[in-house]
Amino acid sequence: MVQITFVSNGGKVATAPENSNLLRVSLKEKGGIPFKCGGGLCGTCKCRIEEGLEHTDAIKPKERKHLRPEDFEAGYRMACQTFVNGDVKVSWVVQNGKGVVVGVASDAADAPVPSA
């Protein structure tokens, strides 16, 4: 069994079998991770693995459509696409009903170009 701590939900702790889907555990145990489609299409379930990132499976192609390489480096994943094989602590920030990435510097190429 693995232990999942939902940091953004008052530190609620749930146990689940190894190789459990993070969003499914959140739904079953009322962990609170935001979601909409549950299938990697909308990006609503963006969350940050605060501890135990090494206990998550490989990044999926659907996650690459919603998260940048620097987001992954900061520990962000999409809960619907993430399976856990050991203890993790997960947090999220919600804006307009969706999980969002916060505090990750963006590339200069992504910055708006000032008009002359």
Of 7, 96, 106, 86, the closest CA to residue 43 belongs to 96
- Is this structure's pTM higher than 0.85? yes
Residues 6+ apart with CB under 8 A from 6: 12, 13, 14, 26, 31, 32, 33, 90
Q: Which amino acid is at 30?
A: K
11-48, pLDDT tens digit by residue? 999 999 999 999 999 999 999 999 999 999 999 999 99
Query: What is the predicted pLDDT for the residue at 106?
Result: 53
